């Protein structure tokens, strides 16, 4: 499939000499939710701002829908909606007016029916006549999303969309973003909430110190890099691990009330059968079992640690 965004060998050095992006190449597929994860200062916003035409690119090229972002600036800009990190909106305008105005910026004719659809999809219709300054922070963030959607973009960038938003609103936003994806909009989001990427993304890209260190299907990433943990609660506590169990990667936990084994769930032999046999031989009785898969957060931290 033709990617909707194609970034090739992109590097960016700011005027002060800081190299914020180093030879980044990345394709985003049409209709996917792509999560860009990285620690503070990794270059996420720089990358987004270059694609959106807000920061000049250094070297390399970026195409959106097959159009070059420099040569075909107007075309690519009109294909993109951006929800920026900072809440910057015209405080004195009504919700409806500020969202309609955004559409006009792209030279699109007024379309009150479209604006109504966008406002309704974001549960903002009841607030359409209110001044933006009277809204709560979460509602203001929705207005930013409405503004980004006013000109019917094919690609939506969400730069930390749920920073500082409460859990309920975050879940509403996720549902809203999924709904948008279902209408064919490609979504690229940056986030510090790895839970958000885990919940929403089709693919995940990890950026660190200006370099893309990994791009992978989320499910593949979690399957291949995710370790599983087996927790065995014991009927009787152990004071120490019996020597016969020393060949298993086991730790005593909860003051001896539990054993914890970390294993690779994708391996042909996980060693779990042998472990249970040895436990039975030792006469160690089990009260309960629990297995747990690594979260994306653990995978992410592990990847970054492996590079330092
Ligand atoms: N105009 C600028 N001039 C010089 N350096 C800059 C400029 N803008 C950003 N930087 C630097 O480039 C690096 C990448 O910044 P960027 O905002 O892209 O990171 P980020 O991954 O979005 O971080 P965060 O998660 O904190 O938003 C940072 O070290 C930042 O200080």
- Over residues 222-241, the pLDDT tens digits come to 776 667 889 999 999 999 98
Q: Which residue has the higher pLDDT, 45 or 161?
A: 45
18 lines ligand 1 (CB under 6 A): yes
What SS3 class is residue 28? strand
Distances (CA, A) of 181 to 14, 48, 89, 91, 255: 33, 19, 25, 29, 48
Question: At residue 267, does pLDDT exceed 80?
Answer: no
- Which residue is associated with the tokens 């914020």? 20
38 lines ligand 1 (CB under 6 A): yes
- Are 42 and 210 in contact by the 8 Å Cβ rule? The answer is yes
DSSP state letter for 260: E
For residue 41, give both structure tokens: 């200062």
- The band of 292, judged by pLDDT with boundaries at 50, 70 and 90, is confident
Question: CA-to-CA distance for 297 and 281, rounded, in angstroms?
Answer: 37
What's the mean per-residue pLDDT of the chain?
A: 87
Question: CA-to-CA distance for 95 and 145, rounded, in angstroms?
Answer: 12
- The neighbour count for residue 27, using CB atoms within 10 Å, is 16
103 lines ligand 1 (CB under 6 A): no
Per-residue pLDDT at 276: 92
Question: At residue 266, does pLDDT exceed 70?
Answer: no
180 lines ligand 1 (CB under 6 A): no
Say what the ipTM of the complex is: 0.93
Q: Which residue's CA is the nearest one to ligand 1's atom 28?
A: 41
Percent pLDDT > 90 in the chain is 47
Q: Which residue has the higher pLDDT, 139 or 153?
A: 153
pTM for the model = 0.79
Question: At residue 136, does pLDDT exceed 90?
Answer: no
Q: Which residue's CA is the nearest one to ligand 1's atom 16?
A: 43
Per-residue pLDDT at 236: 93
Which of 10, 21, 42, 158 gets mutated to test ligand 1 (max ligand atoms within 8 A of its CB)? 42
Percent pLDDT > 70 in the chain is 95
Return the closest-CA partner of residue 185 out of 68, 45, 50, 82. Answer: 82
Domains and CATH numbers, the chain: 3-223 (3.40.50.300), 227-293 (3.30.70)
Per-residue pLDDT at 221: 77
Question: At residue 1, does pLDDT exceed 70?
Answer: no
Question: CA-to-CA distance for 292 and 103, rounded, in angstroms?
Answer: 47
Q: Which residue has the higher pLDDT, 253 or 270?
A: 253
Least confident of 4-13, 67-76, 107-116, 195-204: 195-204
* Contacts for 23 with CB less than 8 Å, ≥ 6 apart: 9, 10, 11, 60, 211
User: What is the 209 CA–ligand 1 centroid distance (Å)?
Assistant: 10
- The band of 198, judged by pLDDT with boundaries at 50, 70 and 90, is confident
CA angle at 72 for the pair 67 and 75, rounded to the nearest 5°: 80
Question: CA-to-CA distance for 301 and 307, rounded, in angstroms?
Answer: 10
100 by Cβ neighbours in 10 Å (0-12 / 13-18 / 19+) ranks as: buried
Per-residue pLDDT at 84: 85
Per-residue pLDDT at 224: 67
Per-residue pLDDT at 225: 66
Compute the average pLDDT of residues 164-175.
79
Per-residue pLDDT at 248: 86
Residues 199-230: b if buried by 16+ CB within 10 A, e if exposed: bbbebbbbbbbbebeebbebeebbeebbebeb
Q: Tell me the per-residue pLDDT of 84-99, one tens digit each, with 9 for 90 and over.
A: 877 677 777 899 999 9
Question: CA-to-CA distance for 118 and 124, rounded, in angstroms?
Answer: 8
Question: At residue 218, does pLDDT exceed 80?
Answer: yes
């Amino acid at each position: 499939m033709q990617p909707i965004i194609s970034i090739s060998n992109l590097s960016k050095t700011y005027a002060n000499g800081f190299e914020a992006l180093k030879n980044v190449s990345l394709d985003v597929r049409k209709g996917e939710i792509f999560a860009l994860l990285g620690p503070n200062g990794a270059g996420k916003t720089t990358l987004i701002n270059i694609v959106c035409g807000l920061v000049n690119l250094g070297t390399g090229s970026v195409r959106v829908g097959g159009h070059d972002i420099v040569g075909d600036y107007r075309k690519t800009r009109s294909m993109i909606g951006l929800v920026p990190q900072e809440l910057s909106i015209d405080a004195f305008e009504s919700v409806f007016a500020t969202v309609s105005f955004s559409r006009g910026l792209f030279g699109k004719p007024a379309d009150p029916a479209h604006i109504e659809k966008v406002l309704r999809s974001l549960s903002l219709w009841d607030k359409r006549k209110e001044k933006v300054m009277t809204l709560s922070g979460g509602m203001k963030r929705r207005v930013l999303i409405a503004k980004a959607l006013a000109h019917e973009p094919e690609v939506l960038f969400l730069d930390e969309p749920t920073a500082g938003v409460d859990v309920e609103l975050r879940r509403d936003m996720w549902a809203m973003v999924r709904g948008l994806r279902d209408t064919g909009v490609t979504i690229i989001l940056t986030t510090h909430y790895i839970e958000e990427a885990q919940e929403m993304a089709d693919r995940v890209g990890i950026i660190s110190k200006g370099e893309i260190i990994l791009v992978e299907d989320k499910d593949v990433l979690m399957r291949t890099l995710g370790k599983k943990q087996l927790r065995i609660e014991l009927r009787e506590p152990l004071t120490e691990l019996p020597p016969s169990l020393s060949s298993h990667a086991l730790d005593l936990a909860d003051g001896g009330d539990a054993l914890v084994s970390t294993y690779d769930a994708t391996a042909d032999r996980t060693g779990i059968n042998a472990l249970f046999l040895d436990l039975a031989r030792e006469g160690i009785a089990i009260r309960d079992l629990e297995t747990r898969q690594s979260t994306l957060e653990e995978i992410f931290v592990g990847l970054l640690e492996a590079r330092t």
